[in-house]
Chains A and B, each alone.
Chain A
Amino acid sequence: MTDTYKNVDVAEAAADHAAEVAEAHEAATIAGTPKHPIAEFWEYFTENKGALAGLIFIVVLVLTALFAPWIAPHSPIEQYRDALLVPPAWSEGGTWRFPLGTDDVGRDIFSRIIWGSRLSLFVGVIVVTLSLGAGIVLGLMAGYMRGWVDVLVMRLMDIMLAIPSLLLAIAVVAILGPGLENAIIAIAIVVLPHYVRLTRAAVITESSKDYVTSSRIAGASTSRLMFNTILPNCMAPLIVQATLGFSTAILDAAALGFLGLGAQPPTPEWGSMLADSLQFVQRAWWVVTFPGLAILLTVLAFNLMGDGLRDALDPKMKR
């Protein structure tokens, strides 16, 4: 019984807190000039500690990728024949020459992970740019023009959604042949429907609003209406989806790499570093552990940041 009441109390306390916060915000607004939207957004975003941690990790990752040649102690593809499967520095037999140990052909795992951050971020940027760009255009067309364009585009997207993304990506790679570029194209195609649907839904909501009508009456051209009037007001969900899209892209590229269908050896890609590692589970855990940890932390960081952005950008969540 007490449990239930406690929950009611918690809910009430939360509601009270929300009301207080709202009042505080109101008071602040009345007292001084209203906050700049970016400042307000930043306030909401930093309230979420997880999102902030994600952002910090991503900033560090980007810096690592940019300065990889200066940070990495070794070349990612140089094979030290005298140091095969050396364990990490802190365990027995390890040396600080290879902080995270070496793989079966004597490559420094630490350096490969550092260089791998370039590839993963590169995959993320290209996939998100391609799918976001194409998704916005298709979604705008479907949502603004409606009619047969809408039906055609959305049916196509429904079909694509019916096939699981990894399977579709594998099919595309089977057509184009294995390799990092083809994996990127495959993933960009696979995630496209999400952007198209989001854009279309937002465009349909916005199109019926007064500011669009008045802009049309003022004589704005169709393309101006689509890209300059409507699109900027549809960006919030797309920004969130794009952030989460980074994590999907990195995860799928790693999965393809693991299956031998993505980046090819000796490219230091996190997923393909794990491709042949099953044979080492018995004797060299470090070969298996660190590349996967890099994938997990990166994906987690983007997911945390995406969740934080959603809370900060979604007006319904604002108290």
Chain B
Amino acid sequence: MLGFFIKRLGLVVPAFIGVTVLTFALIHLIPGDPVLMLAGERGIDPERYARLRAELGLDQPLVVQYWNYISGVLQGDLGNSIVTKKPVIDEFLTLFPATIELTICAIIFAVGVGLPAGMLAAVNRGKTLDHAVMATSLTGYSMPIFWWGLLLIILFSVTLGWTPVSGRISVMFWIEPITGFLLIDTILQGNWDAFWSAVHHLVLPAIVLGTIPLAVIARMTRSAMLEVLREDYVRTARAKGVSPKRVIMVHALRNALIPVITVIGLQVGVLLAGAILTETIFSWPGIGKWLVESINRRDYPAIQGGIMLVATVIIMVNLLVDVLYGVVNPRIRHQR
């Protein structure tokens, strides 16, 4: 087990180095001089130009610059935002809980609907229900989610007036951040009105963000279930008179879950990328919206740091999923 863990950890290091090289290159591949870019249209005198270049370390060889960059990164120093002058890491950490909250709710939605839908489709293979689930999930899989979000806003916010159009909570509430997760903070402070306001704001974004993972999970569950239902042990269970419900829920589902868990893990990357679009539509104050704004403001340290941190989170989640997978499924950790 330890060997498996170490081997898997060994794959993380090159991936992390690759990400830092990419984000480092980001600043250096931008056409034009970063110092001139910083100076803007006001221009800059040669003396100040040289001083700024030295300050930013741009007069040193690339290898030294990369070394400085990566040693800063490892100490949590990602530079300061050009616009707000605050450290990028602080801005990221302030906004990240909002994104995590949204992502977790999206996963719950996707699994909560996708898993039963896939199971029902597999059990009713070839029938109308199966075709309906498969057609719906293929549509969900093909969905441009930014448009899907707009449609849901038209239907539920504008026409029916059930949910607010944007934001994370009504402006009438001020919640002192404890964990940063509004759903938890409002409960901790016993403010139920605020809690329901947060839930109302969260429903549509979570549905939009969860749509593609839902489709993927439903398809995966269906095919995994079909595979498992063909196995001998399922036939044996049926033959010895185990109730159909028990055969499906216990004998089949448990084994079908293994590939499904992997797929759920792989969806985390998709979700964090999808958060960029979802947060932009719903003005959700998370890192996705922040990244897009940073790009529009040409706030390069923020873009650089943001992309690096998101990629790092995804690499770590993938590592976690692989390790959990090894714990769940002994066949994986004993390979070679």
Contact = CB atoms under 8 A, between A and B. Distances in A.
B307 A3 contact: no
Contacts of A165: 273
Interface in A161-182: 162-167, 170-171, 173-177
Interface stretch (B11-19, B44-52, B167-175): B11-19
B147 A1 contact: no
B66 interface: no
A259 B126 CA distance: 40
Measured as residues with beta carbon below 8 angstroms from the partner, the interface class of chain A is 35 or more
A296 B243 contact: no
A155 interface: yes
B144 A296 contact: yes
Given A167-B273, A281-B153, A255 B144 contact: yes
A285 interface: yes
Given A292-B150, A296-B142, A281 B19 contact: no
B279 to A, nearest CB: 11
A4 B19 CA distance: 50
B151 A292 contact: yes
B18 A159 contact: yes
Contacts of B311: 162-163, 167
Contacts of A160: 18
Contact of B11 (A14, A158, A247, A254): A158
Contact of B147 (A177, A274, A307): A274
A186 B318 CA distance: 23
Interface in A58-74: none
B15 A162 contact: yes
A155 B22 contact: no
B62 to A, nearest CB: 16
Given A164-B270, A164-B272, A170-B291, A274 B138 contact: no
A300 B142 contact: yes
B125 A10 contact: yes
Contacts of A260: 296
A3 B142 CA distance: 33
B146 A258 contact: yes
A4 B292 contact: no
Interface stretch (B24-32, B83-91, B100-108, B191-199): B24-32
Interface string B138-155: 110111101110110110
Name the residue in A176, A247, A255, A289 with the highest tally of chain B Cβ atoms < 10 Å from its Cβ: A255
Q: Is the interface of A mostly helix, strand, loop or mixed?
A: helix
A174 B303 contact: yes
A303 B138 contact: yes
B19 A159 contact: yes
B122 to A, nearest CB: 9
Contact of B269 (A8, A164, A258, A288): A164
B238 A4 contact: yes
Nearest to B273: A164
A174 B295 contact: yes
B218 interface: no
A176 B25 CA distance: 12
7 contacts: A3-B123, A156-B18, A162-B15, A162-B269, A167-B307, A271-B144, A299-B142
Interface of A: 1, 3-4, 7-8, 10-11, 14, 50, 155-156, 158-160, 162-167, 170-171, 173-177, 247, 251, 254-255, 258-261, 271, 274, 277-278, 281-282, 285, 288-289, 291-292, 295-296, 299-300, 303-304, 307
Top 7 nearest A-B pairs (CB, nearest first) are A292-B147, A159-B18, A164-B273, A4-B244, A166-B273, A299-B142, A300-B142
Given A165-B273, A292-B147, A292-B148, 6 more contacts: A163-B311, A167-B311, A174-B26, A271-B144, A281-B165, A304-B138
